[in-house]
Amino acid sequence: DGGITQSPKYLFRKEGQNVTLSCEQNLNHDAMYWYRQDPGQGLRLIYYSQIVNDFQKGDIAEGYSVSREKKESFPLTVTSAQKNPTAFYLCASSPDRTSGNTIYFGEGSWLTVV
């Protein structure tokens, strides 16, 4: 089935460790996004990418890094520089310009720092 797959669903990290969250889409979408959501809050944009090998910072990019080596993949690395990484992370993608900016989301990944 077509869609966006995030893994792992749940991840525990020790302080000082880097972790990478996977996001894969088979929708042939051009753009991909990463959002962070804290309990009871809305979504905040971390990074987004419009095409392969190109990405832009969102509102809260500090402490995170991304890559876009393939159209279908947009992994997010939460580095040790991110001071409060415990949150719900959502990956999303959107199709080309002719379809407007409708965004489709994955099911999310829960990251907990222990």
Partner 1 sequence: DAKTTQPPSMDCAEGRAANLPCNHSTISGNEYVYWYRQIHSQGPQYIIHGLKNNETNEMASLIITEDRKSSTLILPHATLRDTAVYYCIVGGYSSASKIIFGSGTRLSIRP
Our finding on whether 112 is near partner 1 (CB under 8 A) is: no
CA atoms of 26 and 24, how far apart (whole Å):
7
- Minimum separation from the CB atom of position 50 to partner 1 (A): 4
CA atoms of 64 and 66, how far apart (whole Å):
7
What is the distance of C-alpha 106 from the center of its chain?
Answer: 9
- Minimum separation from the CB atom of position 40 to partner 1 (A): 8
| CA terminus-to-terminus distance, the chain | 35
- Minimum separation from the CB atom of position 69 to partner 1 (A): 17
Our finding on whether 25 is near partner 1 (CB under 8 A) is: no
Our finding on whether 41 is near partner 1 (CB under 8 A) is: yes
Q: Which residues bind partner 1 (CB under 8 A)?
A: 4, 29-31, 33, 35, 41-45, 48-50, 56, 58-59, 88, 90, 92, 94-97, 100-108, 110
